Chains A and B, each alone.
Chain A
Amino acid sequence: MAESMYCAGIRVLIQLFFVICFMLMLLTQTTDAKNSGDVRCKCICPPYKDVPGKIFKNNVSLKDCNCLHMVVPMPVDGKDVEAYCLRCECKYEERSSLTIQVTIIIYLSVLGLLALYMVYLTLLEPVLKRRLFGHTQLIHSDDEVGDQQPFANTHMVLSRPRTRSNVLNKVENAQQRWKRQVQEQRKSVFDRHVVLS
């Protein structure tokens, strides 16, 4: 009990560590990403008399983000400048392009890995298994855990043979168990439509 709890605890701690690292990375990126492409001041000026509407963008600091600094060259003459500028709206905006880049790249890599793993599981693994082990392995049908034999099933679950705690064996066991679970879930959701209409 102690060993498996220890392993489970280590696993969870490692996952938690990665999650926190990722979140910290995201948070710190937002606070110090002030390179020139990431701040801007955007002024929108609507049409005025016969001057068409225009948008002005520049990367200036917050104190300079107003109509007089941004609207260059000024399309109207001196006495109309104030009326023109009253209609303009200037906003200061920041973004973090590094966050966006990192997020998209992480997402695409995870998606790619999952897609490859899916292709491997559905197409390649049966072919490889068949070549390595012959037909005997494929007769391994998944257990119908029904209530007809409660003791036998419990017995099977409880008395799993304790093999050497080999890492490969453990991974193999875990993968088999996970595949069985997914198959059970797939049966209840997709085939029998019992859960999740």
Chain B
Amino acid sequence: MDNAGYCNESFNSLQSGTSDEDMVEIAGATLDFSSTDDVPPLDRDYTSGYAAHGGGGDVLNGSTKLMDLLDEPVPGVGTYEDFNTIDWVREKSKDRDRHREITSKSKESTWALLHSVSDAFSGWLLMLLIGLMSGALAGGIDISAHWMTDLKEGVCLNGFWFNHEHCCWTSNETTFQERDKCPQWKSWAELIIGQTEGAFAYIVNYLMYVCWALLFSFLAVSLVRAFAPYACGSGIPEIKTILSGFIIRGYLGKWTLMIKTITLVLAVSSGLSLGKEGPLVHVACCCGNILCHLFTKYRKNEAKRREVLSAAAAVGVSVAFGAPIGGVLFSLEEVSYYFPLKTLWRSFFAALVAAFTLRSINPFGNSRLVLFYVEFHSPWHLLELVPFILLGIFGGIWGALFIRANIAWCRCRKTTRLGHYPVLEVLVVTAVTAILAFPNDYTRTSTSELISELFNDCGLLDSSKLCDYVNVNASKSSNELPDRPAGHNVYTAMWQLSLALVFKMLITVVTFGMKVPSGLFIPSMAVGAIAGRLLGVGMEQLAYHHHDWPIFKGWCSPGADCITPGLYAMVGAAACLGGVTRMTVSLVVIMFELTGGLEYIVPLMAAAMTSKWVADALGREGIYEAHIRLNGYPFLEAKEEFSHKTLAMDVMRPRRSDPPLSVLTQDSLTVEDVEALITETSYSGFPVVVSHESQRLVGFVLRRDLIISIVALSPVYRLPAENARMRQDGIVSTSPIFFTEYTPPPPPSSPATLKLRGIMDLSPFTVTDHTPMEIVVDIFRKLGLRQCLVTHNGRLLGIITKKDILKHMAQMANRDPDSILFN
């Protein structure tokens, strides 16, 4: 890098940070910035800061005064446009300056000392608040979703707010076979026509189910459309992009939070094949963003805010699964871009607080955090690794095919007329889902209940269809059950489950990405759990009927309990989830936090690794990266290696056929020249050079800052009525603009000069034109740059922006470079 003085200084300042600031360089860590303001700070901050500036301006009179921006920066400078990338280096150095100032002032008075202590603690307080708020919201969502799901089937006469299970909680009329029947719970057929059995009652129940499902999904999509269009979808791809430095204003705002919470419950209750884990991550990040406004340290600094959002993402997964460690690892592996060590500890704290809050609210009435908490600890045999690896292969293949199908469908939605009817699309998909799901017992109930039933190992106390085994030795007194031949009901359950498997595989392709909050974890786990259970029961029957085969002889003698279909379901769920999202460590940790047993780590890891390898062989990206690429977000993938031998001068702009680089000179421009340049071009920044002939670099100035400074400081654009109030004397169209440190005193009759050195970045990053692109891409990734200047023999030659790099990478991979939409 050239400009040794400037760049070394910034490089040293990066290295001399405290150990807390060390980057944990783990592939896949990403950062996300999202502004929480619904209103661009340009509006509020400007009016608030202008009064201060105007007060100072009154003292300066006369037309020869210099407008010195170094002392009082115009508010609004240093903020970012919507759909733009932030400048990480600038934000981090702003935070270091602020911290330095606070520490140096803390020695002056007790008040300042208290201020510095409270500043240090503000991070922890913020984490505590985020955990509390997210835990409370997640508890509310769980309770409401459970109630509304059961509302499709009936209502409780004891109190309409009870769902089916809680209605029959104290009743003594439940029997061993029918655990859910009690007189207080009335199905709709009973209420409307007074019958419980028979064809007519079935039809009435069917009709009411479909009607409720349609009502819920219609309400969900209308609310999303009317109040917060950003609340649709999963949210994780956008949060990944935001954490890597992108700004989407309003994506993590108050209205998005409220609408996402309310419509998530509606969407889940309408029976659609979606889950709530992804949207819970979005909800938690919204809480994080909103609570950041209470603390100046995080409100004003986009880099610090993204640290908080990384922790909030961990909180989201933690409340969804009841897995705090898994949540932190998920945030580290999937969602975050930069993940300092400090964030690791804080995320864990926030995730624990959230899990504790959720447990106190106690949504399931039995002190469990998650619906499918399994308790069995039966051992598994080494030979069972073969079917586990088979499940892994199935998960990988399904994951890759699902991603392709879903992306094709979403692209269809973006480009064809399908996208013009979002409400109709949601209603049609809901109708199809409800109509096809009602007849099959396994799809009628909510997906979480299906998964918990599949994970459950059959014991003496179970009476479901899946556990209807023929009792060979009825007088056995132990609690363990040997492998037994399947009864008639088990075969019925098997083919019903196969139908459910096919149905879920197809309908999830169409459901994920609709204009309601939709998550992906639960449907993928359901597909895997069904496949796993089918394989498990198959293996069990094989071992029973052919126990004299050599592979079973050693360990599975008749009368022994050797194969646990519930374990196969769990492994299948992990394999499918890993195939779709390509999670590795976080998936295994989440699954074993769900089961509470360390015995099953090896099968889970085997299946997860196999599924990831198979899925990676078939398609490079996970579902979230695929959606990022579909939307054209400027996300520089941290996991990909750039392996081509291009040089910086192949990628930089301007190319040979383009007009020359638009630069500003440091002392020969007037206000109207700059305005003309800004109006004619649409670049987001301009390098500043000494002169057009020498092209020696001075610095870099951003378009937004230029516009704000010129508009704020010149009365040319004021309305006549406001000239008296907001006046910076003397700046007219012909005023010269100086970027230098020392300006010559202007002759008496010429207009006042405008000094804009304060908004210029004096240490832009530069590379020479022969720098290999591998190094340039590495620099962009590691430092979070937005643009980089290219010099040749010390003279400015061109510029490389993040968008250019993304387009270049797309071209190298034979993809369409025009799909990168933002910069």
* Known contacts A46-B460, A87-B479, A190-B515; is-contact A53 B177 (Cβ 8 Å): yes
A150 part of interface (Cβ distance < 8 Å): yes
Apart from A46-B461, A57-B171, A186-B225: 15 A-B pairs, beta carbons within 8 A? A22-B136, A23-B132, A23-B136, A52-B176, A87-B460, A93-B366, A150-B678, A151-B717, A152-B717, A157-B40, A157-B46, A189-B230, A193-B415, A195-B238, A195-B248
Specify which chain B residues have a CB less than 8 angstroms from the CB of A130 in the assembled complex.
none
CA distance A37 to B513 in the complex (A): 42
B773 part of interface (Cβ distance < 8 Å): no
* Known contacts A107-B265, A147-B682, A154-B711; is-contact A26 B136 (Cβ 8 Å): yes
What is the distance, in angstroms, from A6's C-beta to the closest C-beta of chain B? 10
| 9 sampled A-B residue pairs with Cβ under 8 A | A49-B475, A54-B175, A55-B176, A57-B171, A99-B361, A101-B161, A162-B47, A197-B411, A197-B414
CA distance A24 to B479 in the complex (A): 43
Q: Say yes or no: A97 contacts B48, CB within 8 Å.
A: no
What is the distance, in angstroms, from A172's C-beta to the closest C-beta of chain B? 15
What is the distance, in angstroms, from B303's C-beta to the closest C-beta of chain A? 22
A135 part of interface (Cβ distance < 8 Å): no
What is the distance, in angstroms, from B126's C-beta to the closest C-beta of chain A? 12
A27 part of interface (Cβ distance < 8 Å): yes
Q: Say yes or no: B410 contacts A197, CB within 8 Å.
A: yes
* Known contacts A12-B294, A101-B159; is-contact A4 B708 (Cβ 8 Å): no
Q: Say yes or no: A159 contacts B718, CB within 8 Å.
A: yes
B485 part of interface (Cβ distance < 8 Å): no
Give A49-81 interface residues, CB cut-off 8 Å to B: 49, 52-57, 59
B110 part of interface (Cβ distance < 8 Å): no
Specify which chain B residues have a CB less than 8 angstroms from the CB of A103 in the assembled complex.
139-140, 143-144
Q: Say yes or no: B170 contacts A100, CB within 8 Å.
A: no
8 closest pairs, A vs B, by CB? A1-B48, A53-B176, A95-B365, A104-B161, A189-B229, A46-B460, A193-B414, A197-B410
Q: Say yes or no: A182 contacts B228, CB within 8 Å.
A: yes
CA distance A27 to B43 in the complex (A): 40
A31, A55, A122 interface centre (most CB from chain B within 10 Å): A55
Q: Mark A166-190, 1 if CB is under 8 A from B, else 0.
A: 0000000000011001100110111
Q: Say yes or no: A107 contacts B479, CB within 8 Å.
A: no
* Known contacts A1-B48, A158-B42; is-contact A104 B144 (Cβ 8 Å): yes
Q: Say yes or no: B679 contacts A151, CB within 8 Å.
A: yes
CA distance A110 to B260 in the complex (A): 13
Q: Say yes or no: A40 contacts B170, CB within 8 Å.
A: yes
A19 part of interface (Cβ distance < 8 Å): yes
Q: Mark B395-436, 1 if CB is under 8 A from A, else 0.
A: 000000000000000110111000100100000000000000
Task: Report the nearest A residue to B230, measured CB to CB.
Answer: A185
Q: Say yes or no: B147 contacts A104, CB within 8 Å.
A: yes
Task: Report the nearest A residue to B463, measured CB to CB.
Answer: A53
Q: Which residue of the partner chain, among B161, B477, B710, B722, contacts A87 with CB atoms under 8 Å?
A: B477
Q: Say yes or no: B232 contacts A1, CB within 8 Å.
A: no
Q: Say yes or no: B176 contacts A40, CB within 8 Å.
A: no
Give A86-136 interface residues, CB cut-off 8 Å to B: 86-87, 89, 91, 93-97, 99-101, 103-107, 110-111, 114-115, 118, 121-122
Q: Say yes or no: A114 contacts B627, CB within 8 Å.
A: no
Specify which chain B residues have a CB less than 8 angstroms from the CB of A1 in the assembled complex.
45, 47-49, 51-52, 75
Q: Say yes or no: B675 contacts A151, CB within 8 Å.
A: yes
CA distance A194 to B632 in the complex (A): 8
Q: Which residue of the partner chain, among A19, A155, A157, contacts B133 with CB atoms under 8 Å?
A: A19
CA distance A8 to B360 in the complex (A): 32
Q: Say yes or no: B357 contacts A44, CB within 8 Å.
A: no
Name A's interface SS.
helix
Give B160-175 interface residues, CB cut-off 8 Å to A: 161-162, 166, 169-172, 174-175
Task: Report the nearest A residue to B718, measured CB to CB.
Answer: A159
Specify which chain B residues have a CB less than 8 angstroms from the CB of A115 in the assembled complex.
219, 223
A138 part of interface (Cβ distance < 8 Å): no
CA distance A86 to B42 in the complex (A): 72
What is the distance, in angstroms, from A156's C-beta to the closest C-beta of chain B? 10
CA distance A189 to B235 in the complex (A): 13
CA distance A166 to B47 in the complex (A): 17
Q: Say yes or no: B227 contacts A182, CB within 8 Å.
A: yes
What is the distance, in angstroms, from B663's C-beta to the closest C-beta of chain A? 19
CA distance A104 to B43 in the complex (A): 39
Name B's interface SS.
helix
Q: Which residue of the partner chain, among B140, B162, B422, contacts A190 with CB atoms under 8 Å?
A: B422
B821 part of interface (Cβ distance < 8 Å): yes
Could you tell me which B residues sit within 8 Å of A by CB distance?
A: 38-40, 42-49, 51-52, 75, 129, 132-133, 136, 139-140, 143-144, 147, 159, 161-162, 166, 169-172, 174-177, 179, 219, 222-223, 225-230, 232-233, 238, 248, 250, 255, 258-259, 262, 265-266, 291, 293-294, 357, 360-362, 365-367, 410-411, 413-415, 419, 422, 460-461, 463, 474-475, 477, 479, 513, 515, 627, 630-631, 675, 678-679, 682, 703, 707-708, 710-712, 717-719, 722, 726, 821
What is the distance, in angstroms, from A69's C-beta to the closest C-beta of chain B? 15
Task: Report the nearest A residue to B222, measured CB to CB.
Answer: A118
Q: Say yes or no: B132 contacts A197, CB within 8 Å.
A: no
CA distance A56 to B415 in the complex (A): 59
Q: Say yes or no: B161 contacts A160, CB within 8 Å.
A: no
Q: Say yes or no: A104 contacts B176, CB within 8 Å.
A: no
Task: Report the nearest B residue to A26, measured CB to CB.
Answer: B361
Specify which chain A residues have a CB less than 8 angstroms from the CB of B266 in the assembled complex.
111
Specify which chain B residues have a CB less than 8 angstroms from the CB of A59 in the assembled complex.
170
Q: Say yes or no: B238 contacts A196, CB within 8 Å.
A: yes
Q: Say yes or no: A193 contacts B413, CB within 8 Å.
A: yes
What is the distance, in angstroms, from B154's C-beta to the closest C-beta of chain A? 16
CA distance A26 to B132 in the complex (A): 11
CA distance A57 to B179 in the complex (A): 12
Q: Say yes or no: A107 contacts B631, CB within 8 Å.
A: no
Specify which chain A residues have a CB less than 8 angstroms from the CB of B174 in the assembled complex.
55, 57
A139 part of interface (Cβ distance < 8 Å): no
Q: Say yes or no: B166 contacts A44, CB within 8 Å.
A: no
Q: Say yes or no: A182 contacts B362, CB within 8 Å.
A: no
CA distance A190 to B46 in the complex (A): 32
Q: Say yes or no: B228 contacts A185, CB within 8 Å.
A: yes
Q: Say yes or no: B161 contacts A157, CB within 8 Å.
A: no
CA distance A134 to B535 in the complex (A): 69
Task: Report the nearest B residue to A52, measured CB to CB.
Answer: B176
Task: Report the nearest B residue to A91, measured CB to CB.
Answer: B366
Q: Say yes or no: A185 contacts B250, CB within 8 Å.
A: yes
Task: Report the nearest A residue to B171, measured CB to CB.
Answer: A57
Specify which chain A residues have a CB less than 8 angstroms from the CB of B461 in the assembled complex.
44, 46, 89
CA distance A100 to B133 in the complex (A): 18
Specify which chain B residues have a CB less than 8 angstroms from the CB of A107 in the assembled complex.
140, 144, 262, 265
Q: Say yes or no: B169 contacts A95, CB within 8 Å.
A: yes
Q: Say yes or no: B717 contacts A196, CB within 8 Å.
A: no
Task: Report the nearest A residue to B48, measured CB to CB.
Answer: A1
CA distance A15 to B47 in the complex (A): 24
Q: Which residue of the partner chain, among B44, B227, B675, contacts A118 with CB atoms under 8 Å?
A: B227
Q: Say yes or no: B707 contacts A154, CB within 8 Å.
A: yes
Q: Say yes or no: A2 contacts B48, CB within 8 Å.
A: yes
Specify which chain A residues have a CB less than 8 angstroms from the CB of B129 in the assembled complex.
16
What is the distance, in angstroms, from A12's C-beta to the closest C-beta of chain B? 6
Q: Say yes or no: B166 contacts A95, CB within 8 Å.
A: yes
What is the distance, in angstroms, from B425's C-beta to the closest C-beta of chain A? 11
Specify which chain A residues have a CB less than 8 angstroms from the CB of B258 in the assembled complex.
110, 114
Q: Say yes or no: B48 contacts A195, CB within 8 Å.
A: no
* Known contacts A53-B177, A195-B631; is-contact A100 B143 (Cβ 8 Å): yes
CA distance A111 to B216 in the complex (A): 11
* Known contacts A23-B133, A197-B631; is-contact A99 B48 (Cβ 8 Å): no
Q: Which residue of the partner chain, among A46, A55, A105, A189, contacts B232 with CB atoms under 8 Å?
A: A189
